[in-house]
A = this chain, B = another copy of it.
């Protein structure tokens, strides 16, 4: 009945249909641009029925964001202190690029939220996200101290990785519009470009 764990099959089915529909709508229109009617229609339910499963529009949005944020950090977490520094970072870039390809709606949901001032996830940014980024920045500084990677600012390196990879999800319309028609290969091409760029930029010496 609430945003917590579903208890019955019907709840299971409907809550996930709602979240799926809401992801579609919110990611495309932003929070205020989305309407309960759109979400209900996309989920194949009536509006009052939506509100039987979630107490409000806001609650749906929060549920969606919580689910997302939970897994958003995973690729960065996987940066391995034991691995080869440049391979690790390039691996991170390619993992993020895969996410942009496979989960573009999640990326746009996140982007919408942040562009509009991150009203609902400010604590996440200054809390868990900042902590993890700071930790990985330290790791990168360690690698730099050992001379295994060029001495660039770790935070801005991470920002650039986010920017370049998420760009292919968030600005997809623009990318396709400019690359058209043969844009089917844009992700492999982007991977090749980004791998080249980061290998070159980070090579020590």
Contacts and interface: CB of A to CB of B under 8 A. Distances in A.
A156 B164 CA distance: 9
Residue among A118, A163, A179, A189 with max Cβ neighbours from chain B (10 Å): A163
Interface string A153-181: 10111011011101110110111011110
A78 to B, nearest CB: 19
A167 B156 CA distance: 11
Contacts of A160: 164, 167, 193-194, 197
Number of copies: 2
Interface stretch (A10-18, A28-36, A45-53, A84-92): A28-36
Interface string A114-148: 11111000100110011001100000000000000
A108 to B, nearest CB: 6
Nearest to A180: B126
Interface range for A: 35 or more
Interface in A1-51: 28-33
Given A29-B116, A196-B201, A197-B201, A167 B163 contact: yes
A30 B28 contact: no
Contacts of A122: 173, 177
Nearest to A162: B167
A178 B150 contact: no
A192 interface: yes
B130 A189 contact: no
A31 B28 contact: no
A159 B203 CA distance: 22
A135 B105 CA distance: 31
A117 B180 CA distance: 16
Contacts of A189: 153, 155-156
Contacts of A114: 170-171, 173-174
10 contacts: A29-B116, A30-B32, A112-B115, A114-B174, A122-B177, A126-B177, A156-B189, A159-B171, A160-B167, A197-B197
